[in-house]
Amino acid sequence: MKPQAIIFDLDGVITDTAHLHFLAWKQIADETGIVIDETFNERLKGISRNESLCRILQHGGKEGVFTDAECLQLAARKNALYVHALRQLTTDSVLPGIRALLTSLHELQIPVGLASVSLNAPAILQALEIADFFDFCADAAHISRSKPDPEIFLAACNGLGVRPDACIGIEDAQAGIDAINACGMHSVGIGPGLTGAELHLPSTEFLTWPCLSAFWLNAK
């Protein structure tokens, strides 16, 4: 018995662009007189660009200082800095084990979806040369509620035509694990500091089809 689909997060699961996000946000924070570090950046994992900006402004005591238009400009500038940094990505930027897992899922004809709040997700998949492995990518532009709300995972399930409780969701952020659990999917967490994942793995190199298959059989 196989899951109806496997649905992946992007950053921290397929590739690691967290540091590129941090550098872009740090430049925006510096320009607005706010100090952030990589520890604070962990609080931005898995949430949308606008929500990230809100948290940075709150952190710096500048909530309400900027108009909505100015906030949009700051978010757009951050995205431009990040998109420029994405030029560094190559096929070698895929995290260990992921390409082999995607290949196995393709051979087994198990549908694969993406549930990333990144508006740049399609371009990233193209840069990594793995876009063809994905049967459906939820469009972050049409998502109104950020993780831990399950909206984007439900959108991925709807796009694939599968039931959430018949799927596995894979995340590296607590907000993502909470979102997976909230929609009734079976959750796999990658990396340290996560709670609530049904299966918790230290890194992506342990994320293999035999591992997921055994997890699925035990979960059902």
Q: And the tokens for 112?
A: 């694969």
The pairs formed by 131-135 with CB atoms below 8 angstroms and a separation of 24 or more are: 133/102, 133/103, 133/105, 133/106, 135/5, 135/111, 135/160
Q: Which of 220, 122, 101, 114 is nearest to 171 (CA)?
A: 114
Q: Residue 187: what are its φ and ψ, rounded to 5°? A: -100, 135
Q: Which of 110, 89, 90 is nearest to 162 (CA)?
A: 110
| Nearest-angstrom CA–CA distance, 175 and 214 | 25
Amino acid at 113: G
Q: And the tokens for 71?
A: 């906030």
Task: Please identify which of the residues 11, 16, 135, 149 carries the catalytic annotation.
Answer: 11
| Nearest-angstrom CA–CA distance, 190 and 53 | 25
77 forms beta bridges with none
Task: Please identify which of the residues 9, 30, 37, 92 carries the catalytic annotation.
Answer: 9
Query: Is 11 a known active-site residue?
Result: yes
Query: Is 9 a known active-site residue?
Result: yes
DSSP at 67: -
SS3 123: helix
The catalytic site residues sit at 9, 11
